[in-house]
Structure 1
Amino acid sequence: MFESPRQLLQAIELGEDSRLELKEVQYSGAKWKAPKVDDLAAEIAAMANADGGVIVLGVDDVRKEILGIPELNLDDAETIVRDLLNDKLEPPLIASVRKVRLPDSQGIDRSIIRIDIPKSLFVHRCKGRYWVRVGSSKREISPDYLARLMQQRSQARLIRFDEQTVPGTSLSTLDQSLVERYRSALSDSHFATFANKLAMLRPDSEGIERATVTGILLGTPGPTEFLPNAFIQAVAYRGDFETAFLDLENYQRDAKDFIGSVDQQVRDAVAFVDNNMTISGSKDLGRSNLPQYDLTAVFEAIVNAVSHRDYSMHGSKIRLHLFADRLRLHVPGDLANSMDVEALPVRQATRNEAITSLLARTPVDITLRDFDSPRQFMMDRRGEGVNQILLRSENLSGQRPTYEMIGDGELLLTIFAANPNSDTEHVVSSTAAKVESEDAE
């Protein structure tokens, strides 16, 4: 919709309608004055509950004059919009927010913010009220219409979320090298057709080709540009789980956010654990190095996390917490297909078919001293990953890992650290142990 600046200018000249809303933005110094944030959130919810549309901030809706947003306030205005999408709407909404330059009536370029709002799979409310766009204004939704709308949207969600299109994207959003790595001798030579067959590209409701959630996650080097919570947050703490937070000035040893394509996030997260776990030197049966965690089990856990997490949950990210006595992996989402944690070792269920299908064709490509690659590709089609996590970790530490559901929408995996107290000669960082081992060779 309004793909080029020229098309957007022509639409602005015609004025507001069911798919276009114009808003003047006012600042008092560094403080946002107008429009009211709650009013803007309601307009966004109304469009998402209808057929989607575009809101342009920085335009006088009466005179159709492009006023722009002061350059000093532009970043703040973008932040306010992104925050309200997450904080003011229930459930939060994924929308494209872009800074764009358009010429005013004098031909002078002005900075505006363009919000591309999709027709949502959900029904959104703002401050407890439901709105829908009708013509150039919003109206509160009646109870009868709300019931019908919720039923329609729930049926639309039968299309898997990982194959849904992402607003504001196009074929050019995809990194060709990341898509081409899945090509075989039998693949279609036309790039767009090939991306469609991989479920990385789909036409939206208007027939415009858009990158899908899968395309963003595996076909771009920075998914968070479009899916802000599609990353792994990793923290290594100095103490064990019970004592780590007693000294708040010195409780973190290392912390990183991994924001690459999801397969690269897996590699980076495994390397993070490798760099921050301890290695115990033992004299039992000759000198040997005993790692704190089994890296193959850690790899399986993180692959499962990125492939099975619920990417439709806004404000939730994968969290990897490394303590002296345990590793805790928080994964957003309930278990798929009404599974429970007791069934994880024996049952197989997939939330994101397109993602898991491509991960089953993505090379592991991890070279770490203590990592034994279980196979050539990241995803195991046979469903043996959970058993690898349980058996390998228990074999190392003597304690079986635990799975538990936290609240209504988070799976927590706890892997316990090896505890070689009886014959430990010294404990050093994993990196130091590797250097020492290489020197001995």
Structure 2
Amino acid sequence: MIEQLIAEATECDFKVALETKKPKSWLKSVSAFSNGIGGTLFFGVSDDREPIGLSDVQKDAEAISRLIKERITPLPQFILKPLQEDGKNLLALEVSPGRSTPYYYKADGVMEAYIRVGNESVIAPDYIVNELILKGTNQSFDTLTTDAVKKDYSFTLLEATYLERTGLRFEPSDYVSFGLTDKNGLLTNAGKLMTDQHTVYNSRMFCTRWNGLEKSSIFDDALDDKEYEGNLIYLLKSGSEFIRNNSKVRFVKEAQYRVDKPDYAERAVTEALVNALIHRDYIVLGSEIHIDMFDDRVEITSPGGMFGGGSIQEYDIYSIRSMRRNPVIADLFHRMKYMERRGSGLRKIVSETEKLPGYTEAYKPEFSSTATDFRV
């Protein structure tokens, strides 16, 4: 039974016994599970998943409920389940992903929010706490109104690109209806990211073509090195051009024609860059998207892990639920036909790559994420 419950748990921790004198040892996991995708704490179970048993399940259950109510704020949703395995009494504390993030551990005059990094619960850095605050108030970075006035900026690239890709003019009223300004003409963060001027410092992209298979000194081993900043459409086009200029298109002669064999599928590159631009975390100070090209691969890394918590390695990309960190930007790119239906971007990267002549499983795109970044 316990193996099945462990397999079904989104995240899990194990405690041989309930620690009541130093409850932070397990309450930090309650905070982290609530701030992420949920999880289960198994009491009476060792780290190697062997059932040890609890001497007084009822007393421990009461203490767990009391300590969560006293030391986790706001109060998370949780369920306590008594279990039996090999005649031994255990407890499973199932913690649901929270809607009122961040959830703090509070005691001894401190309040700390925790997140999961691998199999550990660690203190959330400030920028993740800020994102959790936005999430808990049903806001996002790109929807926040700034003090920048629309009339002080230009949007030539946005309007020209919108006309080119949709056949429609970008009307003055669209700035409000698309969420780029408020009714008083103040730009949202999404609006600032679409100006011709560089108004959001973190809106940057660093591109490097390395000589070899690994990173080294940028002065000695970079064959090409570019830095771009500004409008998101400009970053998308610049990143695509950098990859194209540092890629090769080989060809094979057939009887009546030739077959081009590019290093990378252009549509897959676009999807990967769009994914990086619309899902990245713009709150992280001094952050930027990185494109690193090597002799055998290209890596695109963006700030911010999975928005809902967890890591992409834990998911099946063919059934993953779409969660948008920056919904206004995502909607705008969708309107401009840079992305297809929501949640299909990673699948598109794979399917377009599979169409390349000579494709084998060795060339299948790989996805990885941590609490702080996402890499294709």
Structure-1-length-normalised TM-score: 0.48
Partner of residue 151, structure 2: 172
**Are 1:320 and 1:329, in contact at CA under 8 Å, matched by a contact in 2?**
yes
Partner of residue 210, structure 2: 237
* Structure 1 gaps, min length 5: 1-121, 124-141, 363-376, 414-441
SS across alignment from 2:335: coil
Give the C-alpha shift of residue 410 in structure 1. Answer: 0.2
Q: Trace 1:115-134 onto structure 2 (pairs within 5 A).
A: none
1:221 aligns with one of 186, 196, 214: 196
Give the C-alpha shift of residue 345 in structure 1. Answer: 3.1
* Structure 2 gaps, min length 5: 1-100, 103-107, 114-128
Cα gap change, 1:280 to 1:222, in 2 (>3 Å): same
Partner of residue 343, structure 2: 383
Per-residue Cα deviation, 1:196-222 (whole angstroms, up to 9, x for no partner): 22211137xxxx75311110112x113
Q: Does 1:290 align with 2:264?
A: no
Distance 2:305 2:155 in 1: 33
**Are 2:302 and 2:375, in contact at CA under 8 Å, matched by a contact in 1?**
yes
Q: Trace 1:32-431 onto structure 2 (pairs within 5 A).
A: 157-167=137-147, 169-177=148-156, 180=159, 191=172, 194-202=174-182, 209-218=185-194, 220-223=195-198, 225=199, 227-241=200-214, 245=216, 249-283=219-253, 287-338=258-309, 340-341=311-312, 342-347=315-320, 348-362=322-336, 377-396=337-356, 397-398=359-360, 399=362, 400-406=364-370, 408-413=371-376
**Are 2:158 and 2:233, in contact at CA under 8 Å, matched by a contact in 1?**
no
Give the C-alpha shift of residue 249 in structure 1. Answer: 4.7
Give the length in aligned residue pairs: 244
Cα gap change, 1:143 to 1:263, in 2 (>3 Å): same
Cα gap change, 1:391 to 1:188, in 2 (>3 Å): closer
Distance 2:374 2:318 in 1: 15
Code of the residue aligned with 1:216 in structure 2: it is K
**Are 1:232 and 1:258, in contact at CA under 8 Å, matched by a contact in 2?**
yes
Give the C-alpha shift of residue 267 in structure 1. Answer: 1.5
**Are 1:282 and 1:289, in contact at CA under 8 Å, matched by a contact in 2?**
yes
**Are 2:178 and 2:328, in contact at CA under 8 Å, matched by a contact in 1?**
yes
Per-residue Cα deviation, 1:391-421 (whole angstroms, up to 9, x for no partner): 2224434221111113x210111xxxxxxxx
Cα gap change, 1:248 to 1:307, in 2 (>3 Å): closer
SS across alignment from 2:145: coil
**Are 2:157 and 2:233, in contact at CA under 8 Å, matched by a contact in 1?**
no
**Are 2:134 and 2:141, in contact at CA under 8 Å, matched by a contact in 1?**
no
SS across alignment from 2:282: coil
Per-residue Cα deviation, 1:353-376 (whole angstroms, up to 9, x for no partner): 1101111122xxxxxxxxxxxxxx
Code of the residue aligned with 1:277 in structure 2: it is S
Code of the residue aligned with 1:388 in structure 2: it is K
**Are 1:259 and 1:265, in contact at CA under 8 Å, matched by a contact in 2?**
yes
Cα gap change, 1:238 to 1:197, in 2 (>3 Å): same
Distance 2:368 2:170 in 1: 43
Distance 1:308 1:155 in 2: 14
Give the C-alpha shift of residue 343 in structure 1. Answer: 3.4
Sequence identity of aligned pairs in percent? 23
Code of the residue aligned with 2:239 in structure 1: it is A
Cα gap change, 1:389 to 1:144, in 2 (>3 Å): closer
SS across alignment from 1:234: strand
**Are 1:170 and 1:211, in contact at CA under 8 Å, matched by a contact in 2?**
yes
Distance 1:295 1:163 in 2: 31
Structure-2-length-normalised TM-score: 0.56
Distance 2:261 2:169 in 1: 45
Distance 1:409 1:156 in 2: 19
**Are 2:155 and 2:196, in contact at CA under 8 Å, matched by a contact in 1?**
no
Distance 2:155 2:355 in 1: 42
Distance 1:185 1:265 in 2: 22
Distance 1:188 1:229 in 2: 26
The CA RMSD measured in Å over matched residues stands at 3.7
Per-residue Cα deviation, 1:148-206 (whole angstroms, up to 9, x for no partner): xx999567753111111234x112234254565669999997x4x54222211137xxx
Cα gap change, 1:185 to 1:329, in 2 (>3 Å): closer
